[in-house]
């Protein structure tokens, strides 16, 4: 039997926020049309467990990524901010057989700033005050308990901001 080495292609690019490199972001590629579920339902790409199961890699200090591929066809490329704030919408990329494909991803950005009335909290407790940003799609769920799952609360996968002495908070890099 004579075995042939597969012809490999390369999918590479950079992840940018406001034109600057985004090191440490997670880049994931999934086949278009493949079941997108790890646990039986449609995957929530803002959940941490997905990134332990899906093929991908972290961007380097220059925000670059590089993946080898064997099979040609369409993939969905998703990028998650290194702080876990949010995941980009899927970008469909066509991978031709054995070629070098370059895709740069510009992450959409927004921010939320505000002030919590810190003076309403007892002084000894103020150092413990945090503001948590919950996705609107999860507004009807209990943030401290996920039914059927005794070990992971929704709040564990949400972004928090410390509240300083002034009560001000800031969430940077949010999806549109």
CA 174 → CA 38, 88, 99, 152, 158, distances in Å?
Answer: 25, 10, 34, 23, 12
Residue 141 reports pLDDT greater than 90: no
Q: Are 159 and 133 in contact (CB under 8 A)?
A: yes
Residue 132 half-sphere exposure toward CB, CA atoms < 13 A: 15
- Entry pTM: 0.67
Average pLDDT over residues 134-161: 63
pLDDT in tens, 9-43: 999 999 998 889 999 988 988 888 765 544 444 55
Span of 20-34, 70-84, 146-160 with lowest mean pLDDT:
146-160
Block residue for tokens 């926020």:
17
Window from 18-22, 33-37, 103-107, 129-133 with minimum mean pLDDT? 33-37
Q: Which residue has the tokens 């992840």?
A: 15
């Amino acid at each position: 039997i004579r075995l042939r080495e597969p012809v490999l292609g390369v999918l590479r690019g950079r992840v940018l926020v406001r034109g600057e490199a985004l090191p440490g972001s997670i880049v994931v590629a999934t086949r278009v049309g493949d079941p997108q579920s790890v646990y039986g339902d449609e995957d929530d790409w803002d959940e941490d467990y997905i990134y332990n199961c899906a093929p991908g890699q972290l961007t380097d200090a220059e925000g670059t990524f590089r993946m080898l591929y064997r099979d040609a066809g369409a993939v969905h490329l998703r990028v998650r901010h290194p702080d876990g704030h949010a995941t980009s919408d899927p970008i469909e990329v066509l991978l031709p057989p054995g070629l070098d494909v370059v895709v740069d991803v510009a992450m959409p950005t927004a921010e939320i700033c505000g002030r919590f009335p810190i003076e309403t909290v007892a002084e000894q407790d103020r150092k413990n005050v945090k503001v948590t940003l919950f996705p609107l799609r999860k507004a009807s769920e209990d943030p401290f308990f996920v039914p059927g799952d005794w070990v992971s609360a929704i709040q564990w996968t949400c972004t928090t901001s410390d509240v300083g002495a002034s009560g001000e908070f800031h969430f940077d890099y949010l999806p549109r």
